């Protein structure tokens, strides 16, 4: 898992899965849950012959940067790097703690300051943590609708972990299922297929105010349709 203060320090220079976590404690159970799902996705990809690293965008150290960007559109270099890592992802696990029956303000503000098309057709798993089972529906009633608005492709399985869930086999089963769903989406090439099908119906341009130039260029780079992963998605022999 590559992570530092807020994001991985190096530029996003390859295919990867990203965990975006708004966890507030250190260590964070929210981050732990998001990473568990992402690592399951990575294992599924590895079992199918493709090695994809997991990167972490930890929003807690970026809280001030996110707040400033939300009211002024002044985006710090660290926040630009974070958004760039997300935009160049092959899949995202979005993780938030639950406060007063919904995802956190920090979690929402981060998505508010990203460009509108960053999550377009992006495979996503939504997960949340809370102190009570009363919040069980938050991933489906709140988080799923947020990412539907962002036009992401949300996996069938969402996860809410609270109280005794951490010691249950049921939570591990849901992590495994959600991770494999994310891995299957990535292997299928669904994001590129959707973008290709709609063509110019999508804007697919990122304003430089919230992304550094290298990330913008990477997100706009054409897909290598002769790659092993794309051959696998097309029903060919797969990855060499």
Domains in the chain: boundaries: 17-233
User: How do strand 91-99 and strand 102-103 relate by DSSP bridges?
Assistant: antiparallel
* Residue 223 per-residue DSSP state: P
Helix (H, G, I), strand (E, B) or coil at 209: coil
CA distance 186 to 40: 13
Whether the pLDDT of residue 222 is over 80: the answer is no
Q: Are 239 and 232 in contact (CB under 8 A)?
A: yes
pLDDT of residue 134: 64
Q: What is the pTM of this model?
A: 0.82
What's the whole-number average pLDDT of the chain? 83
Tokens of 34: 């998001």
Q: Assess whether pLDDT exceeds 80 at residue 196.
A: yes
What's the CA gap between 171 and 55, in Å, rounded?
Answer: 22
Note the pLDDT of residue 235: 45
Does pLDDT of 227 surpass 60? no
Q: In which residue are the tokens 């990855």 written?
A: 239
| CATH no. of 17-233 | 3.40.50.360
Write out pLDDT tens, residues 61-111.
Answer: 999 999 999 999 899 999 999 999 999 999 999 999 998 878 899 999 999
Q: Which residue has the tokens 């979690």?
A: 107
* Cα 24 from Cα 30, distance rounded (Å): 8
């Amino acid at each position: 898992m590559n992570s530092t203060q807020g994001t991985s320090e190096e530029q996003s220079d390859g295919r990867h899965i990203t965990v975006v976590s708004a966890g507030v404690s250190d260590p964070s159970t929210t981050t732990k849950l998001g990473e568990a799902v992402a690592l399951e996705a990575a294992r599924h990809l590895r079992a199918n012959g493709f090695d994809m690293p997991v990167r972490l965008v930890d929003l807690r150290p970026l809280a001030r940067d996110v707040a400033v960007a939300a009211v002024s559109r002044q985006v710090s270099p660290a926040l630009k790097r974070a958004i760039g890592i997300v935009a160049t992802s092959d899949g995202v696990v979005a993780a938030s703690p639950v406060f007063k029956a919904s995802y956190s303000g920090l979690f929402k503000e981060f998505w508010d300051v990203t460009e509108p098309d960053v999550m377009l057709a992006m495979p996503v798993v939504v997960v949340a943590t809370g102190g009570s089972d009363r919040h069980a529906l938050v991933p489906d009633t709140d988080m799923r609708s947020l990412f539907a608005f962002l036009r992401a492709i949300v996996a069938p399985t969402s996860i809410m972990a609270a109280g005794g869930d951490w010691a249950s086999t049921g939570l591990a089963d849901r992590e495994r299922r959600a991770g494999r769903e994310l891995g299957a989406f990535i292997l299928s090439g669904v994001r590129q297929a959707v973008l290709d099908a709609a063509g110019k119906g999508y804007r697919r341009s990122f304003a430089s105010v919230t992304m550094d130039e290298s990330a913008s260029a990477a997100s706009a780079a054409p897909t290598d349709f002769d790659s092993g992963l794309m051959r696998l998605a097309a029903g060919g022999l797969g990855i060499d």
